[in-house]
Structure 1
Amino acid sequence: MIKIEKSRWRRPALCCALLLMAIVIAMIVTPYDPYHVDVSNKLQKPSSLHWFGTDHLGRDVLTRLVYGAPFTLLFPFLVLVISAIIGSLFGLVSSYVGGKVDSAMTAVMDAFSSIPNLLLAIAITGLLGPGLLNTLLATSISWWVQYARIVRSVGITIRREPYMLAAQLSGSFGGKLIYRHLLPNTKPLVRELFFLDMGAVILLMSSLSFLGLGAQPPLAEWGSMMFDGKSYLQIAPWITLIPAAAITIFVMLFYLIGRGLQSRE
């Protein structure tokens, strides 16, 4: 029974690792430049020369797909690292201090939670201007509150445990108490939420790029590739459908990893 539960996250994790390895190898062996424009070769259907066809500027779609993977996958990872750190610290302080400080910090969390992530990210990106770095900042600002809430909830529950009182009586207070007792108990939940959120953040940042607010041309990012192909959907659907399929595959894999980790716990 334990082996089955372990495989629930190991198999999608292995698939994800193999895909990432294939992307790295493809970046090394591809003979094409992802940014080289060849109008004479535009809108070519998938063939032995161009496995995923070419786009409206004659650029190889497969090459742009593999070169766009770091932008599409690494930036959401950075968003979640930033969100998890900020949210965890916020939630730990709120649950540990309590009282009026907790009430004030909870009010801040409620304010952020009242606005949908996509709407808040669009508003912040609109203020900062389009671009991948601004999208990263906007998404981080809209996402941290989820980690703050779950860490605060766990922290409040742990504070009532007898061993916490024993730790305080033994002289553990402040940062020492948080680091030794509160933080270790929140790590499993934060880890699970991290992988579950990875797919959602990929979708959010790709959506912003598709709307023209994220990665800007000619950057090879999967959301911006879909944006480039939307005008040619009827005559060259592969320009849009292939990056969309890649996003879907990775979103599903990260979701399965997160669900598998939940089952293991």
Structure 2
Amino acid sequence: MISIKKSRWAFPAICCALLIIAIIIGILVTPYDPYQVNVAEKLQKPSSFHWFGTDHLGRDVMTRLVFGAPYTLMFPFLVLIVSTFIGSFFGLISSHLGGKADTVITAVMDSFSSVPNLLLAVAITGLLGPGLINTFLAVMISWWVQYARIVRGVGITIRNEPYMLAAQLSGSFGAKTIYRHLLPNTMPLIRELFFLDMGTIILMMSSLSFLGLGAQPPIPEWGSMMLDGKSYLQIAPWITIFPATAITVFVMLFYFIGKGLKPRE
């Protein structure tokens, strides 16, 4: 059983690591500048000189793809780190304290949950203005609730378990109970959800960039690259196809990693 579980997440994790290594190598060895405009070489097809072709401004698509990877992959990772911390904190507090604290926190979570995540992110980005930092804040604000709900649910479930009652009788209260008993029981679920959400956040932030609300030119974020290629889809489809393929591959890999890390029944 253990070996099956390991194989389910290990293979996509290795593939993901190899792709990230390839991206780092590409950043180091590429001879092109991702921001340098070269009109004389615009809209060139993939060739031995430009493996992924060039865009409408003559910029090498492969170079922009590897330089855009940190924007597309790191920002969702940071969003999830902050969302996980905030959501887990409020979920643990809500389940542990109960009473009025639980009522207030639950009401706040219900308020955020009443609006779809993408719609809420679009609304917040519209208020703050376009840009990666504002997109980061918008997605983070819309996403922490999921972790708060899961942690709260697990906390309430195990709060009345015999070992929790025994821990309280032995003098374990407050932060000590949270650290020793609540967190270990919620970590497997948080870990699984983190990787599953990684792909979703990549799609969300890329979608916001594609709508013109996320990364702004000339930042080579993959959603922004797809926006650049939208007008040239018929004559230069490679401008859109390669970043779209990269997004799809990473979303699928993170999904399989998350499913492979699913806690055993």
Range into which the TM-score falls when normalised by the shorter chain: over 0.9
Letter in 1 for 2:79: V
Deviations, residues 209-248 of structure 1 (Å, cap 9, x unaligned): 0000000000010000001110111110110111000000
Q: Which residue of structure 1 aligns with residue 189 of structure 2? A: 189
1:5, CA displacement in angstroms? Answer: 2.3
Q: Which residue of structure 1 aligns with residue 71 of structure 2? A: 71
The question of whether the paired residues in 1 share the 8 Å contact of 2:76 and 2:202 is answered with yes
Q: Distance in 2 between matches of 1:123 and 1:176?
A: 40
The question of whether the paired residues in 2 share the 8 Å contact of 1:5 and 1:263 is answered with no
Q: Superposed, which structure 2 residues align to 1:240-259 within 5 Å?
A: 240-259=240-259
- Partner SS state of residue 176, structure 2: helix
Of 125-134 and 168-177, deviating more is: 168-177
The question of whether the paired residues in 2 share the 8 Å contact of 1:45 and 1:236 is answered with yes
Letter in 2 for 1:235: I
Deviations, residues 179-217 of structure 1 (Å, cap 9, x unaligned): 111111111110000000000000000000000000000
Q: For the aligned residues, what is the CA RMSD? A: 0.9
Q: Which residue of structure 2 aligns with residue 133 of structure 1? A: 133
Letter in 2 for 1:221: E
Q: Which residue of structure 2 aligns with residue 36 of structure 1? A: 36
The question of whether the paired residues in 1 share the 8 Å contact of 2:88 and 2:148 is answered with yes
Q: Which residue of structure 1 aligns with residue 233 of structure 2? A: 233
The question of whether the paired residues in 1 share the 8 Å contact of 2:45 and 2:54 is answered with yes
TM-score when normalising by structure 1: 0.98
Q: Distance in 2 between matches of 1:180 and 1:118?
A: 35
Q: Distance in 2 between matches of 1:237 and 1:44?
A: 11
Deviations, residues 31-54 of structure 1 (Å, cap 9, x unaligned): 100000001100000001000000
Between Structure 1 and Structure 2, how many residues are aligned?
265
- Partner SS state of residue 73, structure 2: helix
Task: Flag as ranges the 4+ runs of structure 1 deviating above 6 A.
Answer: none
Q: Which residue of structure 1 aligns with residue 60 of structure 2? A: 60
Q: Which residue of structure 2 aligns with residue 5 of structure 1? A: 5
- Partner SS state of residue 217, structure 2: coil
Q: Distance in 2 between matches of 1:51 and 1:149?
A: 46
Q: Which residue of structure 1 aligns with residue 112 of structure 2? A: 112
The question of whether the paired residues in 1 share the 8 Å contact of 2:65 and 2:220 is answered with yes
1:100, CA displacement in angstroms? Answer: 2.0
- Partner SS state of residue 243, structure 2: helix
Letter in 2 for 1:253: L
Identify unmatched segments of 5+ residues in structure 1. Answer: none
Identify unmatched segments of 5+ residues in structure 2. Answer: none
The question of whether the paired residues in 2 share the 8 Å contact of 1:6 and 1:264 is answered with no
Q: Which residue of structure 1 aligns with residue 122 of structure 2? A: 122
The question of whether the paired residues in 2 share the 8 Å contact of 1:96 and 1:156 is answered with yes
- Partner SS state of residue 31, structure 1: coil
Q: Distance in 2 between matches of 1:39 and 1:7?
A: 48
- Partner SS state of residue 261, structure 2: helix
Q: Distance in 2 between matches of 1:2 and 1:215?
A: 42
Deviations, residues 161-191 of structure 1 (Å, cap 9, x unaligned): 1111111111111111111111111111100
